Each structure stands twice: as C-alpha cells, then as structure tokens.
A = this chain, B = another copy of it.
Amino acid sequence: MPDSNRLLPNLTTRSLIPENQETPIHFLRSVLTPESYHFRRNHFPYPELPNPFLLSVRGTVLRPLELRAEQLSAWKAKSVTVALECSGNKRKKFSPEVFGEQWEDGAISQSEWTGVPLADILHLAGLQAGSQEVVFIGADRGHHPGVKGVIPFARSLSVKEALHPDVLVAYQCNGQAIPYRNGYPLRLIVPHWYGMASVKWLQDIEVIDHAFQGPFQTKDYQYYPSIHHDGGKHPVTTKHVNSIIQMPMDLSVLPVGVYVVEGIAWSGTGAVEQVELSLNQGKSWSAASLTPDPSRPYAWVRWTYTWHAEQPGQYEIWSRATDAAGHTQPLEPFWNRKGYGHHAIYRTRIQIE
C-alpha cells in the first residue's frame, strides 16, 4: 500500500512568475508555519543575490553604513512571533470583484523572526535633522504596469514608525536562516503592519527628508474607496482585526453530530481579546474559547467552539474578533478598488444531512 496515510495539503498556486502561493491555512494547526507552507507573495521574479550580501544605510544619516549580512548576528538580538498577512488576503471575497491576485484566506503565515531592532541600526547611523522617512529597498526588481523601466520593490516608513522597538532587520525565521523565498538573508519585519511593509531581501535603507513616492507606496497599497476616481485614497498600514473559521469549511456537507468549530484571530492594533460566534446571522453571539499567549503580542490567537449540529438543515457560522483597542470586524467589508484589508465578519455555510 503506498502513501495512503501521508495526506498533506499544498500551497495553493495563484501565479508562478512572479510566484504567488497561498498557505493552506484551513489545514494547519501549528503555532509556527513550516517553511514549506509559508505563503509566497512576490511582485517580481526571485532575485539573484550578490555574494557577499551587503546592507547599506545611506541618505540623510550622519554615518553611512555598509554591513555584511552575517555581521548582524553579533548584535544584540530580538525575536517576535508575527502573523504576517498580505494586505490582499481575502481579496477574492470582495463584491463587486476586484482585480489583482485572487487570494482566499491563506495569504497569512506565522513565524518567529529574529534579528536586530532597526532602531539600533538607525542610531548607529545617526539621523540628520530633517529626516522624515526611511525607505527600504529589496533586491527584487522588474517591470511594474504603468511604470517605465526596471524598478526595485521599495517601501517607506515614517521615522517614528521606523524607530518602533519591535521593527526588526531579521536574519532568522523559526530559528534558521530566513528561507530564500521569504527574504534571505535579511528581511525587514514590521510586526503590526500588513506584509508589504516587511521588505524581503533587504539591501538598502535610505533615510530621506521628504515623502517617498515609489509606486508600491503611492499607487499600490492604497485604499481607493471609489471605482471611478482616486478621492479618499489613503495608505494601507496596520493589520485590521480579523478572524477565520478553519473548520468546518465553507459550503461543506456534514452528518448530524457535534463539531469543534476552530479558527484563528489576529490584529495589528492590539491583542485579540475576544472571539464570538453567531449561529443566527448576528442576532446573538457566544464567546469562543481562546488560547492567548501574552508573550507573543503579534501572533494569531487560536479559538474553538463546540457546535451541536443536531438537526439536518443549512446553517451559517459567523466569527467576529475584537482587539484590546476595541476594534472589531464589521458586518460588511470596506470595499476598495484594489481589494486590500478585507476583514468583515467571517461566514461559513454548512449543510447538515
């Protein structure tokens, strides 16, 4: 008998060049996502990396730096466990539908990232007066629709955001060198923001005295509330409070029985304090059991709920998370033209036979 018991889920392919693959999040229960299941989100083909790989710190700094990646392991290290989520996660759920990678629920993974606080590097370099933003440039580059020539992936943070003590220049993921496809050898980690801020293959840090205008800053990763014009445009930043029901899966058919409904919840604006479930389309809500870990403030929280499905029929199970800042999931998603930040109440439909 061959491998009948080796039933494994796979990354779900959205595109190959560039490679965009989803984590099979409904089938994973581990706190840390194994490398083979980490989602892959790229704007460009994978980069050729120079050897040695140098990280430069330049621009409006007092002491420009050029650091070999491996030097950073001599610095004082810090680790953060992060539910890293692409801002396009759940894009496929928007109605009307929006263009872009059609992520379902799996553009999210969780890892422990270890590295050097970015603040320590910026302090060594010294910021000149008038410094306004810090630009992070990856080694990956290519063509972008509507932009002439070859450009790198680049994103900025304000100086204040860049100095947040948990923003890291990471060199390890889950205790190993960062996997190549997830940013080896150095990756910026901005734990409370959507994933676009956590620049992979980080090669250049440039401090500037003005607002960065790169297309991944000012054109993409912006919420456009209107389909017709750019009015109301505002940037994608921290992760919204959010949840998914992992099991049972949407539109599944199950026999009468007792089920453990289970899932995860996360937020970039504070610890998840409550997850509630509704079986009557929001008329009433019941608390799920949480397994929080206060030592991992940027991690997702696992939750469970026992459901007695005793009568055949069609059911909806809704989940709603609330974080320490009082943010909660809205009934309907905030529709926006590029499909970012979907975090409406999660709905699963089940047929009991």
Q: Which residues of A contact B (CB under 8 A)?
A: 1-4, 7-13, 15-17, 19, 21, 24, 26-27, 45-46, 48-49, 97-100, 102, 143, 145-146, 179-181, 184, 249-255, 312, 314, 349, 351, 353
Contact = CB atoms under 8 A, between A and B. Distances in A.
25 contacts: A1-B48, A1-B49, A2-B179, A2-B184, A3-B180, A4-B46, A4-B48, A4-B180, A4-B181, A7-B17, A7-B19, A9-B16, A10-B11, A10-B21, A12-B13, A13-B24, A16-B27, A97-B349, A99-B252, A99-B253, A100-B251, A100-B253, A145-B254, A146-B312, A146-B353
A12 B15 contact: no
B10 A251 contact: no
Copies of the protein in its oligomer: 2
A143 B255 CA distance: 9
Given A2-B180, A16-B27, A146 B255 contact: yes
Contacts of A9: 13, 16
Contacts of A49: 1
Given A1-B49, A12-B12, A145 B180 contact: no
A16 B248 CA distance: 12
Nearest to A180: B2
A336 to B, nearest CB: 15
A207 B349 CA distance: 40
Given A99-B253, A100-B253, 14 more contacts: A2-B184, A7-B19, A10-B13, A13-B24, A13-B26, A13-B27, A15-B249, A97-B251, A98-B251, A99-B314, A100-B251, A145-B254, A145-B353, A146-B312
Contacts of A252: 15, 99-100
A172 to B, nearest CB: 16
Contacts of A98: 251
A146 B27 CA distance: 26
Contacts of A353: 145-146
A100 B10 CA distance: 20
Given A1-B48, A351-B99, A353-B146, A16 B7 contact: yes
A108 B100 CA distance: 25
Nearest to A184: B2
